[in-house]
Structure 1
Amino acid sequence: MMRFSLRATAATTATVLCTALGVFASMGTATAAAAVPNGEWAPFTRCPVDAPAMLAADGLDRTPQCVVSTSPNGSIKLGRTTVPTGRTNLQIGVVQNSDGTSSVVAPPGGALIADSATVPGGLLGLMCPSDIPAISDICEQLSDSTLNKITATVESVGTPYDFDQTAGIVTDKPIVAIPVRIHLKNPFLGSKCYIGTAAKPVVLRPENLQFPEFGMSFFRGDGTVAEDGEMSRVNLTGAAQNDSTFAVPGASGCGLGLLGLIDAAVNAKTGLPSAAGKNTLTLNNAQTHLAGLTAPGTFAPDAGKRLAENWHSAVD
């Protein structure tokens, strides 16, 4: 007999949606500390269960859930430069509202954690050769592999928005808008070299390329598997997402006191700014898990508090 309520069915929809959120974590920072929960809670190391919006979810009008989405690899093309992406991990809280809308809650340290990516060709490939004398001087010094290497990390610059619940169960429909910026790191670039800013971010709107495989488990609050458990976990695996609709602004803040010369050189070589339709993001083999109360209404008005208690019981 199907034990998943109508609200849990909505949660399943949200899970598919949140699979696509993994795309913007593809080159994030892998330094944030995380808890290590037990059992079925194991993937949910950073769920923001203690956030006010999550705790306030009553289980009737507002239902709280934890979402994690991971991917082993992918790629992102910005202008004329394509960068492979590495291991990713996105974690968020989602509050499902009774009117069909959803809101996203990020962990205190940010939603994105992933391996940084190395830019192919390094600084030589990113801005050399150049007819700007100061840049040419730098190019001549880049035979040293340490100086030439560039890493790129994607950083969130705001909470995702325009969350479309129905888009997660179909293909070729934007799921969510995700504002990010890309941090380029190299000794010659300084510490403030970015593609995109908080004011003018790269906004990703991923969509499913295929339907994920579906699975479900039930467990007790502490993570122990149990058919009569008050918690349920939806598992969606093997999906890929893509976005080719986003525009990319030019690089800014690059270079140590060279008055924008490196910005200009990077933008000229890579073809930035780049209009929508000329850039592409692909995330391979996304794995998404969503955990929530199997029957959240039975814990009203304290569903959010119950979810938090259960998560902490698996961690503490």
Structure 2
Amino acid sequence: MNRSFPGARAVTTATALGTALVAFAATGTATAAAAPNGEWAPFTRCPVDAPAMLAADGIARTPQCVVSTSPSGSIKLGNTTVTTGRTNLQIGVIQNSDGTSSVVAPAGGALIADSATVPGGLLGLMCPSNIPAITQICESLSNSTLNKITATVESVGAPYGFNQTAGIVTGETIVAIPVRIHLENPILGGNCYIGSKSNPIVLRPKNLTYPDFGISFFDGDGTVADDGELTRINLTGATQNDSTFAVPGATGCGLGLFGLIDAAVNAKTGLPAPAGTNSLTLNNSQTALAGLTAPGTVAPDAGKLLSQAWHSAVD
């Protein structure tokens, strides 16, 4: 059997390899930078060429690729609930020999997702209002184009606090995901955000239900092989939730109105909202983790070989 890179398969346990990651609704269609073959297919954005991943030796530091998707769900921020579409979270993970882990985000950010429309648009988000300038805006919103608001989630830094075993149990935080939400509408202008780089919304998802567990072995180019140099863990079908995150108020909304739209949006939606008043639910999450089957046997080149394998399935 042809191999795309050297490495011997060793018997390993898969119990601790499972993980599940989540994200929530946003605009911005989930697009792939690459189309890997076979078992690599979901891992379109794994940062295999990041310096930290390439430097992982396979003994003290073991590199892995993780992807998690969900087809639907919902997010409640203050008084507003939005139905979510597809989400796609991808990261590189370095498992350290001391039991800790480090997360490496793709260059374009860890999270992308399909579009979400805010129910009621501007009318629902800030009307009625006792602020005269806002009342005038509310009275002009019969035009559906002016009323519609879309929300885009944006990564604001790499996820952190990754717990590999939490993905196969319930009730334990899997990872912390810092994000902000970009609210887009002609009246809101281009800088209307809930959360910021300095004060993000931090999601800490957990499994509400146990996922189904599966495992496969494959060669570097993605071809399934019983003696493959790579292992893929699959965790499917779990419902995931987080109700622990706080949400700051909206800022930067409205052109030339000196914060009046910020105030109207926050008053109507109940922002800022403390932890315990917000929630995220992701349905039917599908998570996969891929890494070398026996990384110690190819030390110190585990990171380089993982990158070579991924590229052999893409190029």
What SS is found at the alignment partner of 1:226?
coil
1:90 aligns with 2:70: no
Question: How far apart are residue 103 of structure 1 and its match?
Answer: 0.7
Aligned runs of 1:98-137 on 2, under 5 Å?
A: 98-137=97-136
Which one-letter code corresponds to 1:299 in the other structure? V
Aligned to 1:246: 245
> C-alpha separation between the residues in 2 aligned to 1:167 and 1:221?
27
Q: Structure 1: where are the runs of 5+ without partners? A: none
Q: Which runs of 5+ in 2 are unaligned?
A: 1-8
Q: Which amino acid aligns with 1:93?
A: G
Report the number of matched residues.
307
Counterpart check, 1:270 vs 2:277: no
CA distance in 1, matches of 2:273, 2:11: 45
Aligned residues of 2:30 and 2:114 also touching (Cα < 8 A) = no
2:313 aligns to what SS in structure 1?
A: helix
CA distance, structure 2, for counterparts of residue 255 and residue 204 of structure 1: 27
SS at match of 1:23: coil
The answer for the alignment partner of 2:29 in structure 1 is: 30
CA contact (8 A) 2:244 2:276 kept: yes
Corresponding position of 1:148: 147
Q: Deviations over 1:214-270 (max 9, x none)?
A: 111111111111111111111110011111111111000000110000000000000
Residue in structure 2 matched with residue 74 of structure 1 by the alignment? 73
Alignment correspondent of 1:305:
304
Please, what TM-score do these two structures have when normalized by structure 2? 0.94
Instruction: State the AA in 2 paired with 1:5.
Output: T
Instruction: Classify 1:28/1:232 alpha carbon distance in 2 versus 1 (closer, same or farther; 3 Å).
Output: farther
Residue 196 of structure 2 aligns with an amino acid whose one-letter code is T
- Would the aligned equivalents of 2:246 and 2:278 in 1 still touch at CA under 8 Å? yes
Q: 1:165 to 1:289 in 2, by over 3 A?
A: closer
Amino acid paired to 1:199: S
Q: Which amino acid aligns with 1:229?
A: G
The corresponding residue for 2:181 is 182
RMSD over aligned CA atoms reads 1.5
Deviation at 1:31, TM superposition (A): 6.0
Match for residue 172 of structure 2?
173
Map of 1:158 onto structure 2? 157
Asked whether the equivalents of residues 179 and 201 of structure 2 are also in contact (C-alpha less than 8 Å), the reply is yes
Partner of 1:40: 39
Structure 1 letter corresponding to 2:67: V
Matches within 5 A, 1:219-298: 219-298=218-297
Distance in 1 separating the partners of 2:285 and 2:300: 34
State the SS of the aligned residue for 2:190. Answer: coil
| Conserved 8 A contact 1:32-1:109 | no
CA contact (8 A) 1:23 1:282 kept: no
Q: SS of the residue aligned with 2:22? A: helix
Alignment partner of 1:52 is 2:59: no
Q: CA deviation at 1:124?
A: 0.4
Instruction: Give the superposition deviation at 1:56.
Output: 0.5
| Matched AA of 1:183 | H
How far off is 1:170 after superposition? Answer: 2.3
Q: How many percent of aligned residue pairs carry the same amino acid?
A: 77
1:167 Cα deviation from its structure 2 partner: 2.8
- Point out the more displaced range, 174-183 or 270-279: 174-183
Contact 2:67 2:289 in 1 (8 A): yes
SS at 2:178's partner residue? strand
